[in-house]
Amino acid sequence: MIRLFSDLRRLVPVLFSLFILASCNDDQAEQKPPQKNANTVTATPIAGNSTARAPSNTKFVPLGSGFDFYVLSLSWSPTWCLENDPSGRSQQCAVENSHGFIVHGLWPQNERGYPEFCRTREPDRVPDALGRTLFDIMPSMGLIGHEWRKHGSCSGLSQKDYFAVLRAARERVSIPASLQTVRSQQRTSAADIETRLTTANPGLQANAIAVGCSAGQVEEVRICFTKDLGFRACGEIDRGGCKMKNLSLPATP
């Protein structure tokens, strides 16, 4: 009996030490930081962009699937309006809105070619409540709906996530002051437009951007992004850009 009591006295410190160790492990497990979703990536902070709104409601940029990279197309609105709505009756072309570059679309792209009009469980129609949140950068429900059906449906994302990435891509690009307000028509070149944009956006190289032109006028700019919205080279897009040395840049309203 005396021997049993002595053995128990020796076990008490051991059991107490094991209890303390288990408690510490539980505390460490509770303090472990949460894991990020594997399908999202932290958005890159945008600095010095006077034309883009601060990132709105997305802490993370959803990652698309089924393609290689994105092309952000920015349309020079004054050129489109001269050809399609010279009287300024639409929201895009109204004088009081004074649009310069607007988002034409964010296009999932492959190294060669691109997917379009993909099957998706999402509806074809973009709800007004979602579309109208984009009017500051994409001022047309018709354009928003078309871009979703043709391009967004191939992103592997929901409508909400696709348009969140579209906005984040636009906010990634800083538009220099010389391309924000153009008070009178300018003569320029595709190379000059590219230089202005690459200078304003550190990390954006000439092989990641292409200027589009039509009838001697600047029509749009295409900028290539990785899926997590880093600038990247895109040979096929770059080679297809306008090479004209004498272009018209119509004035903003």
Catalytic residues: 104, 147, 151
List % helix, strand, coil for the chain (3-state, nearest 5). 40, 20, 45
Between CA 32 and CA 27 the distance in angstroms is: 9
Secondary structure letter of residue 132 according to DSSP: G
Between CA 253 and CA 122 the distance in angstroms is: 37
Between CA 156 and CA 85 the distance in angstroms is: 34
Distances (CA, A) of 239 to 59, 169, 186, 216, 223: 34, 22, 25, 18, 13
